[in-house]
Structure 1
Amino acid sequence: MPSRPPIIRIANGTFYRHHPNSIPPSSTSHGHHHSPNPPLFTNLSLVLPSHPATPQNWAVVGPSLSGKTTLLQVLRGSHLCLPPTARSYPYLSTEGVPHRLRNPGRAVQYVGFDAASMGGSGGSSATTTAYLSARYESRRESTDFSLLDFLTGNTQFNVDRQGDGEEGGIDEKLMERVVRDLRLEQLLQLPVAFLSNGQGRRARIARALLTSPEVLLLDEPFMGLDPPTVAGLSPLLEEMARGAKPRLVLSGRPQDPVPEWVTHLVYLRTDCQVGVMGGKEEVVERLRGYVRDVRRGRVREDEGLPVHALVEMGRVLTARGLEGEGIGEVEAVVPVAGGGVPVEEERRSVGEPLVEMEGCRVRYGDKIALGNWSEERDGTEKKGLHWTVRRGERWGVFGPNGSGKTTIVSLLCSDHPQTYSLPIKLFGRSRLPEPGSGQLPLTFWDIQSRIGHSSPEIHQHIPRHLTIRRVLESAWADTFQSKAKMDDEARAQVDATLRWFEHDLNPGFSTKSTTTTPGSTTQSDLSWAEEYLFGGVSFSAQRLLLFLRAIVKHPDIIVLDEAFSGMDDALRDKCMLFLATGEEKTYAPSPAGSGQTGDVIVDSPAAKAGTVKVTGLSDQQALICISHVKEEVPDCVREWLCLPEANTGKPARFGRLDGPLGRDRRRWAEIWSGA
């Protein structure tokens, strides 16, 4: 039987965002000319077979700014290809493909989870038009399509057909399986705007699977999902990949475990070029050998293949859980970047309560979204969530998707309408007048000014046209777009922060003739921060900006809700260092002749000169971190709260860690053992 043509073929193609002989319009906007148009994946050759003799399931792996999303877009047909004939889709022209899928735009679907692609594949961006607290309200609008409508494609007015497919619509058996395995049964009648971040991710993956494309490109599909959901999603994807319905291509960060059923890897360099490509075992072994040779001084470290980004690469996601060690963990001889972040080993002195929840229960009609439990405390039965956060405490909040973590954040930040009616005190005061107290109730603006907040919800709603500087300065403003109330000290803090993270925030940094190191006292030109827009920088840079916006003002409470998702381990560790020490510490290359590789943490030039403007967390601040990945929990976190699965009636669980969470799987297992 003759072999069938590949579904995607790229033969010695080079890609560009704009034609190399043109000047993109964005390069002259706001008076700057720094918009680069480098060649992407020069002379790339890649074949995705339609019916291979043995299964081929691909994953694209790389650190921040390596071009994972860009490569997925290239596979779908985006970006200019030179020569134009280098990219083709031969199988789509054969009789084995339904007529509706002859177009690559339909046959090859992409699902991403940045705010610009909230609609997913063929879906609606219904959630992006709502204001931040709309998801917590009970009133239904005519545009509040249910999750069931979203999954079946019925999200338009005056539709004259059911579902998307020309040939029979949505497959009922596939619908049943996808809904069950992604744990969406109890959510089908809810408006899409009501879904939590994790639930929304599952919904977009489900929507894409139900369109039955020939190829499905999933951009970091496990990011932001709780361990039980990941355990259910991976087998579902494996079954579909095994039957090529659809063929799957995943992307991930080096520290993310690769599903066991993935057979082929593309590892990307930091300059949007392919580093290594081939069978999974072959790629992992080549990278392992490279890390070993660099550490033993046999080869020089390639600037495009930083060793620190490879340390956690190679762990495997199996049906039994995570297995294996990272290729750089087995032979690690020195700490990698971030390994020296100061850790609070002793209990901090704590101060007065900043948050007091005395029996919170959030209800929407008959549905209880948070606090659906009773427990005995001090000999009496108490209902709902009882939780106190004091100055100096460092909390981790955990629990399955939909358990109420984001609802808790909305209560803290007063985005939730029920904040006014629940037994909550913030900064020692109620949201409602208290007779005889002599105190005025807290206003929404009082609370917002004292809480720094980074979350996927903030990311979804922040205006894309704000400059990089204005995003940071909005920490001193009442709203994203109102005028910031800045003084000289605040401006100095913003400048110091921009200078420390210029390498990660300035898209034109690599083209600059002069550079500065993090923590430098050099008054470098920061005009780029007023030229580049939030919507024009990478997803990881956007997440970095929102993290910095949350901490730069030194608020009383810092809330980091999945703040590090979308970052590679190197950028994540830089954020952890900045959270702990501000600009007092920085990275420097290992001393020559020390036998060490990677960067070490040293006092910054600003610290040596006594000009530090931004310091790390203080005893006067409280930290609340929400994450589904233990490595994304700051080492200083000690207190923890784990919410139960929704509607199980189990109470919330509390505990205290005896050390950093990210460095001990035992501590992580203890937290999730009763979830």
Structure 2
Amino acid sequence: MASRLPFLQIKNATFHAHPPPHTSASQKLFPNLSLTIPNDSTERWCILSPPRPKSLFMQAIAGRLYPSPPNSIHFPSLLAAKIDPRDRGFRIVNFSGSGGGGNLVTKRPPGEFGYLGGRFESFELGEEEGITVGEWVGGAEPIEGLGLERLWDRRLLGLSNGEARRALLGREIRRGADGGGLFVDEPFVGLDVKSRGTISQFLEGLADSRKNPRTVMLGIRTGDAVPEWVSHVLQFSEDANIVYQGPRLDEHSKTEGSKRRVGRQPHITSSPTVTEPLISIKGLTIAHPTPSLPPLMDNFNLELGPGDSVRAIGPNGSGKSTFLAVLTADHPAAYASNIRYFGQTRLPEVGKPGVPIEKVQQHLGLVSPELNAIVPKWRNETSVKAIDVLLSGFSETGGVGGFTKPKGGLTDANVERVNEMKHHFAGVLPEDFNWEKSAFHELPAEYQRLVLLLRATARNPKVLLLDEAFSGMEERLREKCWEWLEGGWNNENGAMVVVSHVEEETPPNVRRWVSFGEEGWKEGTYE
């Protein structure tokens, strides 16, 4: 019977990035790999590896790499049921961000907005992005257990990053076939603790489901804990060789992470006095997209001064992304509230003109999933390279939106700074990373975030905004990024705001915090 056939069967396969006759010159990937995944819940597999091999394995099972021998990978149960494994039979949900592409939920081609404020303007224009979560995910009712009920009638562009991930997961499940497979890469990246538990419980139930059976595979970064319901692990090294294959071990339940911040505890305190703030927010109130819920911000106050470092925390959908949109002056509230950017307001005052958004953003540097989503893949029929994205940071508004090189070309100082960046990170980048040749959208997620971080700091901005900038990074690269922030960015005279759900992914020099949630906002400092 088809149900007893394996879901995935790989027999003594070695994969290559290039087709014959060029395979001998290309790197061998996953040499002599044999793997059988049954078409039931008796074995629940997880791929445990650094980001790059995990991304390559997804490409291999999606048919984008070349197996040797050619017939060494099959999907027996899908073929018996006449389900196309490259379409409805096997869906890949890539939460890590690797591979670039457009925004998870807007359907916008990369780079079409050109700047982040476009997502707010589309609300007024009534464009396609105004469709609801339910219309985009599909189906008459929300998928049970995924927490989409409260979001079902919300507009897609109003979702936070964590909410968008749940919507994407629901959409891919609806687009897949019963009896098919689902590979979810880094399902817990960018999620708060409660949402992580919800997603994990949902995926476990999906693997056990008899109503809508799926073969569920997870991709987990090396060093992160594997969910308890996973029974088997396939582990790869950085060079895509097999480290371990078989039933999970006790060590797979442990989390490895930086211990630099252990023992630092937040405590509530009054807001510090700041002279000549870079950005000042007073009495800001922004309603929640769901009218029955409390405001995202209610009489919110914050001052960012030279040398400040603040971590924004809170559950998914609590207002952190909205907070950043206010700081970048993209949110409509920037026009009609008591907010001063570098001493000026967006609207004219008596005897003073309003400050244009371009003037605000030329003093900002930003790394965020939304910014990552609008990086163009192509320009003049040529793929946008890592160096192209980095050099765009030297343009007047390159720290936030826009991916064009500076007018008039690079100065000698610009060239010297790029060389400084390359030298600082040379020891932690893989051999196949090439600034001039590597397409940005093909880079693993952690290297995309690195490129965006260097782009954000290229012109030594006065305010640096880092939204999940270190999420999914290996510790060695993350530590190198923190060294760069301490020495490569002029942080003595600038301010930094970090959004992070995980303590280990927060730079150690962060001193203050502000939290958002249904109980209102709070602020404090780290001891």
TM-score of the superposition, structure 1-length normalised? 0.68
Task: Tell me, in whole angstroms, the C-alpha distance in 1 between the residues paired with 2:318 and 2:449.
Answer: 24
Alignment pair present for 1:224 and 2:190: yes
Q: Which residue of 1 aligns with 2:48?
A: 61
Per chain length, whose mean CA-contact separation is higher, i.e. which structure has more relative contact order (CA < 8 Å, sep 6+)? 2
Task: Tell me, in whole angstroms, the C-alpha distance in 1 between the residues paired with 2:391 and 2:274.
Answer: 29
Q: Which residue of 1 aligns with 2:17?
A: 17
Contact 2:283 2:301 in 1 (8 A): yes
* 1:632 counterpart letter in structure 2: E
Task: Tell me, in whole angstroms, the C-alpha distance in 2 between the residues paired with 1:135 and 1:530.
Answer: 31
Alignment pair present for 1:554 and 2:444: no
Q: Which residue of 1 aligns with 2:361?
A: 448
Q: How does 1:490-509 map to 2 (within 5 A)?
A: 490-505=414-429, 508=432
User: Aligned match of 2:504 in 626, 631, 634?
Assistant: 631
Task: Tell me, in whole angstroms, the C-alpha distance in 1 between the residues paired with 2:38 and 2:275.
Answer: 62
User: Aligned match of 1:652 in 516, 521, 524?
Assistant: 521
* 2:183 counterpart letter in structure 1: L
Contact 1:475 1:553 in 2 (8 A): yes
Contact 1:146 1:192 in 2 (8 A): yes
Q: Which residue of 1 aligns with 2:412?
A: 488
Q: How does 1:38-117 map to 2 (within 5 A)?
A: 38-51=27-40, 55-65=42-52, 67-94=53-80, 97=81, 99=82, 101-113=83-95, 114=97, 116=100
Q: Which residue of 2 aligns with 1:189?
A: 153
* 1:259 counterpart letter in structure 2: P
Task: Tell me, in whole angstroms, the C-alpha distance in 2 between the residues paired with 1:626 and 1:493.
Answer: 26
Alignment pair present for 1:206 and 2:173: no
Contact 1:394 1:637 in 2 (8 A): yes
Number of matched residues? 500
Alignment pair present for 1:141 and 2:54: no
Unaligned regions of 5+ residues in structure 1, if any? 25-35, 153-169, 286-312, 316-324, 330-335, 374-382, 510-527, 583-614, 659-675
* 1:79 counterpart letter in structure 2: L
Unaligned regions of 5+ residues in structure 2, if any? 378-382
Deviation at 1:420, TM superposition (A): 1.1
Deviation at 1:468, TM superposition (A): 2.5
Contact 1:370 1:403 in 2 (8 A): no
* 1:200 counterpart letter in structure 2: A
Deviation at 1:403, TM superposition (A): 1.4
3-state DSSP class of the match of 2:280?
strand
User: Aligned match of 1:641 in 514, 522, 526?
Assistant: 514
Report the RMSD for the aligned CA atoms in angstroms: 3.2
Q: How does 1:241-640 map to 2 (within 5 A)?
A: 241-243=207-209, 245-281=213-249, 314-315=253-254, 326=256, 351-363=275-287, 367=291, 371-372=295-296, 383-436=298-351, 439-464=352-377, 465-477=383-395, 478=397, 479-484=402-407, 486-505=410-429, 508=432, 528-580=434-486, 582=487, 615-640=488-513
Task: Tell me, in whole angstroms, the C-alpha distance in 2 between the residues paired with 1:469 and 1:456.
Answer: 19
| CA deviation vs aligned residue, 1:489-546 (integer Å, no higher than 9, x gap) | 232111110122234556536xxxxxxxxxxxxxxxxxx5333332343322111101
3-state DSSP class of the match of 2:349?
coil
Task: Tell me, in whole angstroms, the C-alpha distance in 1 between the residues paired with 2:327 and 2:200.
Answer: 34
Deviation at 1:127, TM superposition (A): 7.3
1:396–1:13 Cα change, 3 Å: same
Contact 2:49 2:222 in 1 (8 A): yes
3-state DSSP class of the match of 2:71?
helix
Contact 1:361 1:371 in 2 (8 A): yes
Task: Tell me, in whole angstroms, the C-alpha distance in 1 between the residues paired with 2:2 and 2:61.
Answer: 25
Deviation at 1:76, TM superposition (A): 3.4
Contact 2:485 2:491 in 1 (8 A): no
Q: Which residue of 2 aligns with 1:291?
A: none
* 1:277 counterpart letter in structure 2: Q
1:236–1:535 Cα change, 3 Å: closer
TM-score of the superposition, structure 2-length normalised? 0.86
